[in-house]
Amino acid sequence: MGLLNTGHDQTNQQKDIGTALKNGKEILFQGFNWESHKYNWWENLESKVGEIAKAGFTSVWLPPPTHSFSPQGYTPQNLYSLNTNYGSEHHLKALLAKMKQHKLRSMADIVINHRVGTTQGRGGIYNRFDGIPLSWDEHAVTSDTGGLGNRKTGAIFQGFPNIDHTQDFVRKDIIGWLRWLRHNVGFEDFRFDFAKGFSAKYVKEYIEAAKPLFCVGEYWDSCNYRGSSLDYNQDSHRQRIINWIDGTGQLSAAFDFTTKGILQEAVKGEFWRLRDGQGKPPGVMGWWPSRSVTFVDNHDTGSTQAHWPFPSDHIMEGYAYILTHPGIPTVFYDHLFEWGNSIRNQIAKLIDVRKREGIESRSSMRILEAKQNLYSAIIGDKVCMKIGSASWCPSASHTQWELATSGHNYAVWRKQ
């Protein structure tokens, strides 16, 4: 089963897991979408660093920084080349330097589940990496994806040679590369792509060796559906994510795909979904909030791919939920910079309330209402919020509340 909810965060604090996970004050910004490679992206972001820092973010997740077969960066080949469709090595380093000046951490997108070969090896497959750094042969590729290595320790990413992390030489080379990204290039945080593709114990080894300040894994599998209808109970789904976090020695957080899946159904007028059978939030956030990285959409679920999009007319209800709740919230580039000034200002106000009122990843919370058209909760005894079309405001019997910010179908109050 892995570790469950009760007392999890308190009992494991003696572990040195990096200050970022400990302080619980993280607010992440995803600094790209699926189309970003078409523009001078490092230069574009450099021009926005001041604004991103001013909004209150602590870390910016950047697209994969190294050479890739496909322009978005998710089919890596030469891991030591920093010249990509997003811009040159020079422009990347200028961006990272400017982020450091503004005390914004940079998060590298680490794609180590698969790699595109340079030459054909056994079986006529491009499963060798001759002529570039980390010039592995077929033994670096798993036997079930056309190589001479061992079988995969996780799910297969179809169509590409999958890396065999059981090989000592592979792990040694990956650690060397991660240390280079961390200490030479200057990335401080890591995001692990396609984390269900290889055992979490290797992620633990890589984190311990490269010592990033903060890590998050993309452990994405399907929620539980009956036909097209999402099940109310997603405990088995969030348990799988929690098992992965446990497998990393609790050193990495994980994207809360459970909360994402439930929240985007709830906002359609099914807010009863936002309280589980124990009265807690129904995602990873409800069981292990200090390791739950919440989000509304990303480059896969939204953007031009739109694999699993949040209803666009309810985006602000989604942000009103994740930016007032425990967990580590993430804001998507499109919503801050491409959906207009009104959305940007509303998100900025919610971040401001979160920071001012001291809401953190482990803040206590109490759900007050969770029914068809209304959800409301008190977080950290300092903030009260509601989302949904039903009108509602907090009872004034014990506490004087004042409106902090509001918008279409959401409102947030703070104690006077």
Give the Cα separation of 263 and 311 in Å (integer).
Answer: 10
H-type helices in 118-275, by residue range? Answer: 168-179, 200-210, 235-247, 257-266
Per-residue pLDDT, 9: 46
> Within 10 Å of residue 291's Cβ, how many Cβ atoms?
29
Give the Cα separation of 368 and 403 in Å (integer).
Answer: 17
Range of the domain at 255: 19-363
50: left (phi over 0), alpha (psi -120 to 50) or beta: alpha
**307 assigned to some structural domain:** yes
% of the chain surpassing 70 pLDDT:
95
Here the tokens at position 68 are 């890739």
**403 assigned to some structural domain:** no
**374 assigned to some structural domain:** no
Does residue 176 sit in helix, strand or coil? helix
Local confidence band at 398 (pLDDT 50, 70, 90 cut-offs): low
Catalytic member of 109, 193, 334, 357: 193
Total domains present in the chain: 1
**Is residue 193 flagged as an active site residue?**
yes
- Cβ pair 146, 125 in contact under 8 A: yes
Q: Taking the mean position of all CA atoms in its chain, how far away is CA 116?
A: 25
> Within 10 Å of residue 311's Cβ, how many Cβ atoms?
12
**411 assigned to some structural domain:** no
Is the pLDDT assigned to residue 2 strictly greater than 60? no
Catalytic member of 218, 235, 256, 297: 218
pLDDT digits (tens, 9 = 90+) for 6-43: 444 434 433 445 677 888 999 999 999 999 999 999 99
Give the Cα separation of 303 and 311 in Å (integer).
Answer: 12
Q: Classify the C-alpha dihedral 13-15-16-20 as positive or negative.
A: negative
Beta-carbon contacts of 175 under 8 Å, excluding residues fewer than 6 positions away, are 205, 206, 209, 210
CATH number at residue 157: 3.20.20.80
**Is residue 218 flagged as an active site residue?**
yes
H-type helices in 56-213, by residue range? Answer: 89-101, 168-179, 200-210
**200 assigned to some structural domain:** yes
**369 assigned to some structural domain:** no
pLDDT digits (tens, 9 = 90+) for 266-288: 999 999 999 999 999 999 999 99
Mean pLDDT in residue range 113-131: 96
Stated pTM of the model: 0.95
How large is the angle between the packed helices 168-179 and 200-210, nearest 10 degrees? 40
Per-residue H/E/C for 187-228: CCEEEECCHHHCCHHHHHHHHHHHCCCEEEECCCCCCCEECC
Local confidence band at 395 (pLDDT 50, 70, 90 cut-offs): confident
Mean pLDDT, the chain, whole residue set: 94
**385 assigned to some structural domain:** no
Per-residue pLDDT, 18: 65
**100 assigned to some structural domain:** yes
Beta-carbon contacts of 255 under 8 Å, excluding residues fewer than 6 positions away, are 216, 217, 218, 219, 220, 293, 295, 298, 330
pLDDT digits (tens, 9 = 90+) for 179-233: 999 999 999 999 999 999 999 999 999 999 999 999 999 999 999 999 999 999 9
Give the Cα separation of 99 and 31 in Å (integer).
Answer: 12
